[in-house]
Structure 1
Amino acid sequence: MIEQTLTVSRVERDTVWLVAEDKPACAGCNGKCGSQIFSKLFGSNKKALPIVCEESVQVGQKMTLALDDSKVVENALWVYLLPLAMAFLAMFVAHLMLGVSEPWQILAAALGGLTGFQIAKQRTKALRHDIKVIKIYPISLPLTQIDGDCAK
């Protein structure tokens, strides 16, 4: 299971919109590495994830969600492996069965890869992710609070 803690950004009836917090790639370079420079250049376009939630939540609350690993692997196989396999298949068919020259084989491989990508795109739309709510944190307590740790 892959777990992630998200923040509630919007609540509409039984749908809760969640956004992830920005996490820097590393904290050791003080923003001088390539990863953080690209992050600053291209901004952080946060996308909200809609989840159907029957429980009452408020904006600002944190929720921990879990996703089954097997669905991620299944999606990765469709998205990465199918276009590659279709490109090779189209190239071999163009070479062995049709006997065309190399530029036509390259074109066949590109068309096969695009066809595989379109099939994978349609297939992954049909896959359903089983996202489960693991925990809903109360809004009055920070996530880092430890029992017995109070300021006097």
Structure 2
Amino acid sequence: MIEQTLTVKATNGLVAFLLPEEKKACEGCNGKCGSQVFAKLFDTKKADFEYKFDVPLSVGQKVVLALDERHLVKTSLMIYLLPLLFAISSAIFAAEVMQWVEFYQILLAALGGFVGYLIAKSHLRSVKHHIEVVKIYPNSLPVTQIDGD
């Protein structure tokens, strides 16, 4: 399970809008590696994550959510491999079966990659990831006092 600590930014009944904790790209080298340089250059706006809980939460409360990594691996394979396989198979089809010139092979490969992307995107809209609530911290105590387990 992949776990992430989030902070409640706002609530609407049982629905909470969560903000993930900020993590450095790599905490081992203290900013000397390339991944932290890129993380500083391309710092993106943090997005809220909406989740419906069984109990009401208050603003500022921290929760830990977990995601099964098997779903993440399947999703990643679908996103990255399907367009690549469509592009390669389209290029091979254009070269070997149709015997087109290189320019048309490249165009068909790009079209095949785009079709693979559209198929992966439409398939992933229907995928629901199972997110599990691991822990809800009480709002009255700081996280450092109870985070020993």
Q: What TM-score do you get using the length of structure 1 for normalisation?
A: 0.87
Q: Does 1:140 align with 2:149?
A: no
Q: Specify whether residues 32 and 95 from structure 1 end up closer, same or farther in structure 2 by C-alpha distance, changes over 3 A only.
A: closer
Spell out, residue by residue over 1:13-63, the C-alpha distance to the aligned partner (whole angstroms, 9 max, x if none). 221111111112345655455433433333341111100112021011100
Please show how residues 5-84 of structure 1 align to structure 2 within 5 Å.
Answer: 5-27=5-27, 31=31, 33-84=33-84
Q: Specify whether residues 104 and 44 from structure 1 end up closer, same or farther in structure 2 by C-alpha distance, changes over 3 A only.
A: closer
Unpaired stretches in structure 2, ≥5 consecutive residues = none
**Moved >2 Å (runs of 4+):** 25-44
The Cα shift of 1:88 comes to: 1.0
Q: Does 1:106 align with 2:106?
A: yes
Aligned Cα RMSD in Å?
A: 1.9
SS at match of 2:145: coil
Query: Whole-Å Cα distance in 2 between the matches of residues 73 and 27 of structure 1?
Result: 24
Q: What TM-score do you get using the length of structure 2 for normalisation?
A: 0.89
Query: Whole-Å Cα distance in 2 between the matches of residues 26 and 123 of structure 1?
Result: 32
Residue-pair matches, total: 147
Q: Specify whether residues 43 and 133 from structure 1 end up closer, same or farther in structure 2 by C-alpha distance, changes over 3 A only.
A: same
Spell out, residue by residue over 1:90-111, the C-alpha distance to the aligned partner (whole angstroms, 9 max, x if none). 1111112111011111111111
Q: Specify whether residues 100 and 128 from structure 1 end up closer, same or farther in structure 2 by C-alpha distance, changes over 3 A only.
A: same
SS at match of 1:144: helix
**Residue in 2 that maps onto 1:150:** none
State the identity as a percent: 48
Letter in 2 for 1:94: A
